[in-house]
Structure 1
C-alpha cells in the first residue's frame, strides 16, 4: 500500500505487487457488498445455488481470502518503514500524523461505504511501528510470527466454546447461537441483514455512525493479525526480498516452500468444513483463526513470485505498477463502484446475486482500475487520495 510520500527511487516490482494486492482484495470485498455478512465465510448461509458457487467459495478460501489483505498490510508496513528510515525532523511525529489522517479516511470510508474497511486497523497498528522500526529483519519476522500465534490463541479462546459445543452435540448454547447468527444460516439473522442491506443512504450513515464505538472492539481484536502482516512486510523489506535484492531462484524457492505448507493445510481445512456440512461453529474459526498462518504463508509466496517475475517492464507489469501507485485511491474507489452496483441508492443488487455472479461483477472495479490508473499516473503521478493523505499529514505534523 502506498504512503503519503514516495521513496526516492521506486522499485518497479514492488509497485506491481501493490497493484496485485489491491486487485486481489476485490475478490473478497465484492462478497461483503453483495451478500449478507455470514455468506462471506459460509457458502451455505446465502448466495450458493449450484456447484459453481461452491467452487467459487473453495477457490476464494484457498487462494484469495486474507492472502491479498496480508499483502496489502505487508506493503503498508514497507511504506511506513521507508518513510521512517528517511528520517527528517521529528519522524515519529510525522508518522503519527500520517496514521491519524489514515484513520480519519478509514472512518469516513467505513461509515459511508464499506463497513469492513481495513485502513482504520492499519492506522491503529501503525502506532507501534516506530517502536519496531529499529529491529533487525530477523527480529521483525520473529515478532510477526509471535503476533500471529497471539491471534490464533485469542481466536481459539473466543470461538473454542462453540467448537466444543458442536462436537458434544449441545444445542442452543449461547456460543452456538452467536456462531449461527454470524457465520450460519439463522433465518431471522439473514432476513434482518437483507433488510439492513436495503436501507437508505441516510439511514445507513446514522446506523454506522452510532456503531463507531462498538466497532473499536472489533478493530482492537484484529490488531495482532494486522500488525503481524505489517511487521512481516517490514522484515522482508529489511531482509532485501521486497527491495528486489534477492535472486530469482531464491525467491522461487521461498514461494515454493511457503505454498507447499500453505496449500495442503488450506485444502484440509476446506475439506473439514465440507465434511461437516459447513456448521457455523466451525466456519467462523476456520476462516478467521485457523487459516491465518497459512493465509500469511501464501501471501509471502505471492510476494516472492511477484518480486521474481514482475521486475521487467511490459504492458502487464506497467499496468499493475500504475494500479499499485494509486493503491489507496483504487482501494477507496473500488468501494464507490461496488456500492453503485449493490447499494439501494445504486443498482440495488444486494442479496439478488449468487456467489459466482458477485465475483463476476467484481471484474467491473478491477477493469476500472486497470483502465484509469496508467493515464492518471502518466499525467499527474499521485492519486487524489494519496495527495489528500500527504497534505493532511503535512499540516498536522
Structure 2
C-alpha cells in the first residue's frame, strides 16, 4: 500500500500530553538506574570494593530504596510506553488509510543506526539497538486480537525467562555433570572478572581515545551474552503489554478508564511493593555471599511479577494524578523532557562519561550511591530546563528531528513559526 502524502510527524492537537510527561518521568528513573549501575563504574568494581562504597547506613538505605522503587521499574515503564506508542502510530496510520509497516520499518532502521553509534562510540549500555530489533518482532503482532496479545505478553514476560533460567542451570549438569559444570562456570566468572577489570582500567584512563576504545571492545565482547534471549523476551513482552494498553486507550482516555486505572494503581503499587520488599529482604540476607542457594532461581517469577506490577502501578497512578489541575502543573514539568526523550537519553550518556571517566572529572568507582543519585538529579534538572528552552523555539529535539527527517526522507521543518504548534511523536 502506498503512503499517504500526509504521512509524517503529527501536530500538537494530536498529542497526549500525559504520555509525554510520563515518558519524561520514566526517563528520570532510567537515568538514575544507569548512573548507579553503569556510569559510576560500580558494576565493574571488584565485589568487595562495590560493597564498601555502600556500607554505611545512609548508602544502604539509598541502595535499598533504589532496588525497591526504581531499579527495573522505570525501564519497564519506558518499555511499556514504546509499545503504547506503536499502538498510537498504528491507529493513526489506519485512520489515514495507510499501512504502518513501511514507515515504521524505516523508523526502526534509523533508530538501530543511532543505537549502534551510541553503543560503540559513546556508551556500551545502549538500549536503542535492542528496542529497534525487538520492534521488528512487534510488527508481526499488529493484527492480533487483544486477547492474543495478552497471552503472548504473558508467555514472553514469565514463561520464557523462567524456562530459560532453569534450563541454564539444569541442562549443563545433566549433560556434563555437576563438577564439570562448576569448573566451567568458575572459568566463565574469572574470564568475566578479567574483562571487567580491563574495562574499568580503560574508563579510568586520562585518554578519551583509550576510554572509548575500551567501551567499544567491551560492548562488542558482550554481544554473545547467554542471558540476551531472556532480555529480548522480556522486552517483547513489555512491548506487547504496552500495545494492548494503547489499543484499549487506557492512558489516552483516562476518564473513560478511571475505574480500571484505579484498580491497576492500587493492585500494582500494593502487590509490587510487597513482592519488592520480600525480594529486598532476600537480597540483603545474601548480600556479599558468593555461593547462592539453588532455590533462588525460582525467585525470577515473583521478582518479575513485582517489577511489572510496580511499573504498571506507577503508570496508572501518574495518569490519574495528571487529571488533577494541581498535579498537572507539577507533573507537567516532565512534558518537554518526554517530547525529546531520545535527545536527552543520548545527552545523559555524554554528560555521564564526562563526569565519571578518567579523561573527565575522573569520578568512576569513587562515588557512593547517595552522591551518584544527587549528580543524576542535578543533571536531569538541567536537562528539563534545557528541554523547556529548546521546545519553546523548535518543533523537535535535535536527535528527534534527525530521526524523523531520515525516516521520511526529507528534512522536517525545525523552527517554530510565530503561531506554530509544537510537533510531537
Q: TM-score scaled by structure 1?
A: 0.86
Query: What RMSD in Å do the two structures reach over aligned CA positions?
Result: 3.3
The answer for the alignment partner of 1:264 in structure 2 is 274
Kindly tell me: are residues 244 and 228 of structure 1, through their superposed partners in 2, closer, same or farther at Cα, counting changes over 3 Å? same
Kindly tell me: are residues 262 and 317 of structure 1, through their superposed partners in 2, closer, same or farther at Cα, counting changes over 3 Å? closer
Shift of 1:291: 2.4
Kindly tell me: are residues 332 and 290 of structure 1, through their superposed partners in 2, closer, same or farther at Cα, counting changes over 3 Å? farther
Kindly tell me: are residues 311 and 349 of structure 1, through their superposed partners in 2, closer, same or farther at Cα, counting changes over 3 Å? same
Deviations 1:68-107 (A, max 9, x none): 1111111111222222333265531211111111111111
Contact 1:39 1:45 in 2 (8 A): no
The answer for the alignment partner of 2:135 in structure 1 is 126
2: distance between equivalents of 1:96 and 1:234? 17
The answer for the alignment partner of 1:361 in structure 2 is 375
The answer for the alignment partner of 2:24 in structure 1 is 19
Q: Does 1:146 align with 2:150?
A: no
The answer for the alignment partner of 1:274 in structure 2 is 284
Kindly tell me: are residues 109 and 296 of structure 1, through their superposed partners in 2, closer, same or farther at Cα, counting changes over 3 Å? same
Contact 1:106 1:118 in 2 (8 A): yes
Gaps of 5+ in 1: none
* Equivalent in 318, 324, 335 of residue 306 of structure 1: 318
Contact 2:51 2:288 in 1 (8 A): no
Q: Does 1:5 align with 2:9?
A: yes
Kindly tell me: are residues 287 and 360 of structure 1, through their superposed partners in 2, closer, same or farther at Cα, counting changes over 3 Å? farther
1: distance between equivalents of 2:181 and 2:220? 32
SS of the residue corresponding to residue 367 of structure 2 reads coil
Kindly tell me: are residues 6 and 374 of structure 1, through their superposed partners in 2, closer, same or farther at Cα, counting changes over 3 Å? same
Contact 1:43 1:54 in 2 (8 A): no
1: distance between equivalents of 2:170 and 2:54? 27
Shift of 1:45: 4.4
Gaps of 5+ in 2: 1-7, 411-425
Deviations 1:191-224 (A, max 9, x none): 5453132133222433444455544434554210
Q: TM-score scaled by structure 2?
A: 0.80
Shift of 1:338: 1.2
Q: Does 1:47 align with 2:47?
A: no
SS of the residue corresponding to residue 365 of structure 2 reads coil
Deviations 1:330-371 (A, max 9, x none): 111111211221122221110111122111111122111221
Task: Map 1:54-69; keep pairs closer than 5 Å.
Answer: 54-69=60-75
2: distance between equivalents of 1:379 and 1:287? 49
Task: Map 1:287-298; keep pairs closer than 5 Å.
Answer: 291-298=303-310
1: distance between equivalents of 2:341 and 2:313? 20
Shift of 1:138: 3.2
Task: Map 1:73-222; keep pairs closer than 5 Å.
Answer: 73-87=79-93, 89-149=98-158, 150-158=160-168, 173-175=183-185, 178=188, 191-199=197-205, 200-210=207-217, 214-218=221-225, 219-222=228-231
Task: Map 1:233-248; keep pairs closer than 5 Å.
Answer: 233-245=242-254, 246-248=256-258
Contact 1:13 1:244 in 2 (8 A): no
After TM superposition, the structure 1 stretch with the greater mean CA deviation from structure 2, 327-336 or 206-215, is 206-215
SS of the residue corresponding to residue 55 of structure 1 reads helix
